[in-house]
């Protein structure tokens, strides 16, 4: 290993540390799931209510199931079924995607968590 | 130089490319079995082969091996022209670009700061980080423009760092063995 | 020799021990970086000042986010001035009591024509304009009906609807009265008319406080007159976040949605839950329809986002009275583009520009009304 290698490793570590600081979320149970088609919001649903949804994407219909505070891809038209194999998602920040069908899920926090600065009523 | 009627004999160079490409393809296919949080985004272990070819035989052969690996690998996995294929392509392109930059760095620092040059380890690290970043960029910008994806980025880059170092160490070890068995061939004229 | 060859005959051999050491160093660096970045911020923000007080028969709240070169003392002085201004507005625009508008109303009640006092003219003109644009749904001449229903003053609060005969008489008087003209400096005679600016005065007062604070150098404020608010600027490094109350909140959450303020915006909500009574299973609220003489039906709440609070205030009333059938077409006529309504069945509808910006509470799904 050269000094250059060591510098490269240090820089890489620093960069990755910064990425964690920016994007990492602790594992808390999620309250809502956002479903996107091609990046556009197609729906936002609470995880408290059991539901089965069909979302149509580039290849066909994906079935998404919400149950017991969890959500998953139950069925998808893609070949490798990676999205289905991802299984149940439960924590805020968790995400799953079916790339060929361009459908993605993202779990969001419980309630708003941020208190508004003022209330209009 | 060969006439149209004579059967084409494989040159030593062809055999080299074929051999390395075969290895890379095997690794690529095995990797396709790995689970990944973003489907299609892979650690890029086959980059070790690309690096070895680059350091022993130069850019031209390295590019050939990389291209063959991606096309044949994706045909075998069944992801040719599917998102997985484009991800592999972007990853490989990004890692080759990074290798190019590191190469330049090595060149520039050869005289004044020789200790700051990068060995196979550093090269592999940069290539792996670029590979992962390139794949992520494509996935995020084109396939799944979903901010949720960003929470996966630190994890993926950590994996890339680890894999980069591992493949770097492996490539380094292989290169030494190869150097002992047969010294590096005469550098092709097109070596940058 | 070429560079490539020297690259893999590097000075120190790649062994596992130095490798491990460097990995450890890298790991420590990562942890350090993460630790620095995630350092928790301590305590409430010293640059934020908030004051609450009663004025215009409602709870007022003013929040000021000062710049680093402004002192707390300056903020306090500005808030004192704002509070005093609101007290004056309350006197001027009270439909009853001893203020300018009340005096005007007394003159009208005596059967005489009135000259609109100079300071009151701008708001009279705007009220006339909005009255026209809303096809009479926003009507400041409606004071008698409001009093009949007991919504003019807490002391007159009712627990059952007024007798139909009284309602019919007041309605007839109202419809017989001359319309308010935007350019006019006089009005009447019209003994059946009693001006009540309740549906616009608070909004206008808010606008003027925001302007006064801005003149004093405070560009980042929220002025909230009992739910009729205007927010300008930002709260430090993030936007002001405004919550919109759910018309039928449950134990879990009070919010329908939150909105991040972009620049300088007023957010005013009219709802059937604010003032009213229940009688024989039916709810009678304070948003009286000038055509029927009764509380308007069909909607639970209307929220208007606009660039000034007076407009948002008048519009939210007008749209509420317009009801589920007509609100959408009235939005355009009033020159608005950010409106949300909740219909009686609990469904939420919003215009596209507002729908794109609202963050709805859990379980709320809204339809975009194009």
DSSP state of C256: E
- What pLDDT shows up at residue C34? 63
Asked if B55 and C23 come within 8 Å (Cβ–Cβ), the reply is no
Strand partners, C224: C61, C229
- The chains found to touch C (3+ Cβ pairs under 8 angstroms) are A, B
| Assigned token pair, C257 | 């949605």
Residues of B in contact with C27 (CB under 8 A): none
Asked if B106 and C3 come within 8 Å (Cβ–Cβ), the reply is yes
Asked if C4 and B187 come within 8 Å (Cβ–Cβ), the reply is yes
Q: Give the best residue of B110, B131, B144 to mutate against chain A (max A CB count within 10 A).
A: B144
Q: Please classify residue B38 by burial: count the beta carbons closer than 10 Å to its beta carbon, then call 0-12 exposed, 13-18 middle and 19+ buried.
A: buried
| Whether the predicted pLDDT of B117 surpasses 90 | no
Counting residues of chain C whose pLDDT is more than 90, the rounded percentage is 70
| Whether the predicted pLDDT of C180 surpasses 90 | yes
Q: How far is CA B168 from CA A5, B22, B37, C23, C231, in A?
A: 11, 20, 24, 13, 56
Q: Which of B55, B115, B165 has the CB atom closest to C8's CB atom?
A: B55
Compare B190 and A119 and report the one with higher pLDDT.
A119
| Assigned token pair, B92 | 């490989």
- What pLDDT shows up at residue B188? 44
Pairing of the two strands C338-343 and C264-271 = unpaired
Q: Which of C2, C7, C19 has the CB atom closest to B117's CB atom?
A: C7
- A44 C-beta neighbours (distance < 10 Å), count: 19
Of all residues in chain C, the one with the smallest CA distance to A15 is: C30
Q: pTM here?
A: 0.56
The model's confidence at residue C3, banded by pLDDT at 50, 70 and 90, is very low
Q: Which of A4, A34, A36 has the CB atom closest to B117's CB atom?
A: A4
Q: Which of C19, C242, C274 has the CB atom closest to A118's CB atom?
A: C242
In whole angstroms, give the CA distance from residue B86 to residue C350. 40
Instruction: Find the Cα–Cα–Cα–Cα dihedral B81, B86, B92, B96, rounded to 10°.
Output: 110
The model's confidence at residue C12, banded by pLDDT at 50, 70 and 90, is very low
Q: Which helix (H) or strand (E) holds B75?
A: helix B59-77
Asked if C362 and A32 come within 8 Å (Cβ–Cβ), the reply is yes
Asked if A97 and B39 come within 8 Å (Cβ–Cβ), the reply is yes
Nearest CA of chain C to the CA of A53: how many Å?
15
- The chains found to touch A (3+ Cβ pairs under 8 angstroms) are B, C
Q: Span C240-246, mean pLDDT?
A: 94
- B85 C-beta neighbours (distance < 10 Å), count: 19
- What pLDDT shows up at residue C5? 43
- What pLDDT shows up at residue C310? 97
The mean pLDDT of chain C is 88
The model's confidence at residue B192, banded by pLDDT at 50, 70 and 90, is very low
Residues of A in contact with B149 (CB under 8 A): 95, 97, 104
Q: Which of A21, A111, A121 has the CB atom closest to C34's CB atom?
A: A21
Task: Return the top range by mean pLDDT from A92-96, B146-150, C30-34, C326-330.
Answer: C326-330
Of all residues in chain C, the one with the smallest CA distance to B185 is: C5
Task: Return the top range by mean pLDDT from B109-113, B182-186, C9-13, C172-176.
Answer: C172-176
In whole angstroms, give the CA distance from residue C156 to residue C147. 8
B143 touches chain A (CB under 8 A): yes
Residues of B in contact with A87 (CB under 8 A): none
Residues of C in contact with A32 (CB under 8 A): 362
Residues of C in contact with A119 (CB under 8 A): 224, 227, 242-245, 254-255
What contacts C104, CB < 8 A, 6 or more positions away?
C114, C116, C117, C120, C195
In whole angstroms, give the CA distance from residue C24 to residue A5. 14
Q: Span C287-291, mean pLDDT?
A: 96
In whole angstroms, give the CA distance from residue C99 to residue C106. 11
Q: How far is CA C178 from CA C17, C142, C195, C197, in A?
A: 96, 12, 13, 17
| Whether the predicted pLDDT of B190 surpasses 50 | no
Tell me the per-residue pLDDT of C26-72, one tens digit each, with 9 for 90 and over. Answer: 566 666 666 655 554 445 788 999 998 888 888 899 999 999 899 99
The mean pLDDT of chain B is 80
Phi, psi (deg, nearest 5) at residue A112: -80, -30
Of all residues in chain B, the one with the smallest CA distance to C34 is: B154
Question: Checking phi first, is residue A113 left (phi over 0); if not, alpha (psi -120 to 50) or beta?
Answer: left
The model's confidence at residue C361, banded by pLDDT at 50, 70 and 90, is confident
Of all residues in chain B, the one with the smallest CA distance to A6 is: B122
Chain centroid, CA C29 distance in Å: 49
Nearest CA of chain B to the CA of A31: how many Å?
15
Q: Span C146-173, mean pLDDT?
A: 92
A12 touches chain C (CB under 8 A): yes
What 3-state DSSP class applies to C10? coil
Asked if B55 and C4 come within 8 Å (Cβ–Cβ), the reply is yes
User: In chain C, which residue ranges form alpha helices assigned H by DSSP?
Assistant: 3-7, 16-37, 72-93, 100-109, 121-133, 143-148, 164-176, 201-215, 309-333, 352-355
| Assigned token pair, B61 | 């052969």
Q: Give the best residue of C33, C249, C364 to mutate against chain A (max A CB count within 10 A).
A: C33
| Assigned token pair, C246 | 């759910």
Residue that the structure tokens 């004044």 belong to:
B112
- What pLDDT shows up at residue C41? 44
What contacts A45, CB < 8 A, 6 or more positions away?
A32, A33, A35, A51, A53, A66
Pairing of the two strands A95-98 and C282-285 = unpaired
- What pLDDT shows up at residue B191? 36
In whole angstroms, give the CA distance from residue A119 to residue C242. 6
Q: So what's the ipTM on this one? A: 0.83
DSSP state of C149: T
Least confident of B13-17, C65-69, C364-368: B13-17
Phi, psi (deg, nearest 5) at residue B150: -65, -25
A112 touches chain C (CB under 8 A): yes
- What pLDDT shows up at residue A94? 79
Q: Span C83-107, mean pLDDT?
A: 90
Nearest CA of chain A to the CA of C346: how many Å?
16
DSSP state of C67: -
Q: Span C172-187, mean pLDDT?
A: 93
- What pLDDT shows up at residue A7? 87
Strand partners, C245: C255
Q: Span C267-283, mean pLDDT?
A: 93
Tell me the per-residue pLDDT of A7-21, one tens digit each, with 9 for 90 and over. Answer: 888 889 888 888 887
The model's confidence at residue C206, banded by pLDDT at 50, 70 and 90, is very high
- What pLDDT shows up at residue C342? 96
In whole angstroms, give the CA distance from residue C264 to residue C221. 9
Q: Give the best residue of C44, C52, C243, C355 to mutate against chain A (max A CB count within 10 A).
A: C243
In whole angstroms, give the CA distance from residue C102 to residue C94. 6
Pairing of the two strands A70-75 and C186-187 = unpaired
Nearest to B95 by CA among B144, B130, B145: B130
C147 and C157 Cβ atoms separated by less than 8 Å: no
What 3-state DSSP class applies to C268? strand
Residues of C in contact with A6 (CB under 8 A): 22, 25
In whole angstroms, give the CA distance from residue C343 to residue C364. 13
Residues of C in contact with B101 (CB under 8 A): none
What contacts C45, CB < 8 A, 6 or more positions away?
C65, C236
- What pLDDT shows up at residue C137? 96
C69 touches chain B (CB under 8 A): no
| Whether the predicted pLDDT of C116 surpasses 70 | yes
Q: Give the best residue of C12, C30, C222, C287 to mutate against chain A (max A CB count within 10 A).
A: C30
- What pLDDT shows up at residue C42? 46
Q: Which helix (H) or strand (E) holds B50?
A: helix B47-57
List B residues 31-50 in contact with A (Cβ-Cβ < 8 A). 35-40
| Whether the predicted pLDDT of B6 surpasses 50 | yes
Of all residues in chain A, the one with the smallest CA distance to B130 is: A12
In whole angstroms, give the CA distance from residue B161 to residue A13. 8
Q: Give the best residue of B125, B147, B154 to mutate against chain A (max A CB count within 10 A).
A: B154
User: DSSP for B10-41?
Assistant: PPHHHHHHHHHHHHHHHHHHHHHTS--SSTT-
Q: Please classify residue B155 by burial: count the beta carbons closer than 10 Å to its beta carbon, then call 0-12 exposed, 13-18 middle and 19+ buried.
A: middle
What contacts B71, CB < 8 A, 6 or more positions away?
B80
Of all residues in chain C, the one with the smallest CA distance to A8 is: C26
Q: How far is CA C231 from CA C35, C242, C248, C265, in A?
A: 35, 8, 25, 6
Nearest CA of chain A to the CA of B181: how many Å?
22
Asked if A6 and C27 come within 8 Å (Cβ–Cβ), the reply is no
B128 touches chain A (CB under 8 A): no
Q: Which helix (H) or strand (E) holds B166?
A: helix B153-181
Compare B141 and B33 and report the one with higher pLDDT.
B141
A9 touches chain C (CB under 8 A): yes
Of all residues in chain B, the one with the smallest CA distance to C30 is: B158
Compare C133 and B71 and report the one with higher pLDDT.
C133
- What pLDDT shows up at residue C224? 96
Asked if A97 and B126 come within 8 Å (Cβ–Cβ), the reply is no
């Amino acid at each position: 290993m050269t000094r250059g290698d060591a510098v490269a490793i240090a820089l890489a570590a620093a960069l990755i540390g910064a990425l964690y600081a920016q994007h990492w979320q602790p594992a808390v149970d999620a309250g809502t799931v956002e479903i996107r088609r091609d990046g556009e919001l197609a729906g936002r649903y609470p995880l408290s209510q059991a539901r089965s949804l069909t979302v149509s994407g580039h290849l066909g219909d994906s079935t998404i199931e919400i149950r017991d505070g969890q959500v998953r891809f139950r069925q998808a038209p893609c070949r490798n079924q990676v999205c289905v194999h991802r299984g149940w998602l439960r924590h805020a920040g968790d995400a799953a995607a079916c790339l060929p069908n361009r459908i993605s899920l993202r779990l969001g926090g419980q309630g708003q968590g941020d208190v508004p600065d003022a209330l209009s009523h | 130089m060969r006439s149209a009627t004579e059967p084409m004999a494989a040159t030593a160079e062809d055999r080299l490319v074929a051999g390395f490409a075969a290895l890379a393809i095997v690794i690529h296919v095995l990797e396709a079995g790995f689970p990944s949080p973003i489907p299609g985004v892979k650690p890029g272990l086959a980059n070790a082969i690309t690096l070895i070819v680059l350091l022993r035989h130069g850019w031209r052969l390295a590019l050939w091996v990389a291209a063959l690996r991606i096309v044949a690998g994706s045909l075998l996995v069944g992801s040719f022209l599917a998102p997985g294929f484009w991800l592999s392509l972007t990853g490989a392109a990004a890692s080759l670009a990074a290798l190019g930059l590191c190469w330049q760095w090595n060149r520039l620092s050869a005289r004044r700061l020789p200790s700051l040059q990068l060995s196979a380890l550093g090269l592999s690290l940069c290539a792996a980080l670029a590979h992962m970043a390139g794949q992520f960029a494509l996935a995020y910008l084109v396939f799944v423009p979903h901010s949720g994806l960003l929470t996966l980025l630190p994890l993926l880059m950590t994996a890339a760092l680890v894999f980069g170092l591992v493949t770097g160490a492996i490539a380094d070890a292989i290169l030494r063995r190869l150097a002992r068995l047969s010294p590096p061939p005469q550098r092709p004229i097109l070596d940058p | 020799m070429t560079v490539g060859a020297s690259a893999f005959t590097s000075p120190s051999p790649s062994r596992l021990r130095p490798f491990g050491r460097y990995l450890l160093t890298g790991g420590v660096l990562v942890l350090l970086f993460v630790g620095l970045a995630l350092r928790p911020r301590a305590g409430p923000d010293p640059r934020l000042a908030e004051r609450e007080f009663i004025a215009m028969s409602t709870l007022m709240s003013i929040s000021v986010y000062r710049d680093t070169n402004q002192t707390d003392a300056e903020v306090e002085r500005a808030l004192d001035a704002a509070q005093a201004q609101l007290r004056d507005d309350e006197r001027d625009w009270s439909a009853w009591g001893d203020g300018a508008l009340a005096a005007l109303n007394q003159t009208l009640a005596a059967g005489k024509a009135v000259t609109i006092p100079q300071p009151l003219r701008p708001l009279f003109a705007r009220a006339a304009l909005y009255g026209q644009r809303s096809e009479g749904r926003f009507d400041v001449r409606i004071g008698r009906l409001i009093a009949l229903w007991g919504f003019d003053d807490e002391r007159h609060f009712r627990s059952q609807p007024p007798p139909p005969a009284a309602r019919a008489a007041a309605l007839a008087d109202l419809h017989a009265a001359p319309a308010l003209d935007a350019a006019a400096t006089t009005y009447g005679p019209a003994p059946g008319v009693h001006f009540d600016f309740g549906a616009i005065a608070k909004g206008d007062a808010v606008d003027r406080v925001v302007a006064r604070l801005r003149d004093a150098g405070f560009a980042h404020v929220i002025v909230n007159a009992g739910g009729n608010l205007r927010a300008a600027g930002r709260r430090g490094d993030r936007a002001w976040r405004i919550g919109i109350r759910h018309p039928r909140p449950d134990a879990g959450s009070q919010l329908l949605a939150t909105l991040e303020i972009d620049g300088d915006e007023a957010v005013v909500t009219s709802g059937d839950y604010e003032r009213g009574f229940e009688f024989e299973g039916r709810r009678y609220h304070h948003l009286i329809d000038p055509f029927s003489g009764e509380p308007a039906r069909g909607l639970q709440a209307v929220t208007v986002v606009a660039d000034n609070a007076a407009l948002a205030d008048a519009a939210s009333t007008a749209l509420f009275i317009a009801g589920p059938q007509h609100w959408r077409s009235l939005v355009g006529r009033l020159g608005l583009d950010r409106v949300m309504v909740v219909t009686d069945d609990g469904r939420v509808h919003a215009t596209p520009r507002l729908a794109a910006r609202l963050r709805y509470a859990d379980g709320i799904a809204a339809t975009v009304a194009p």
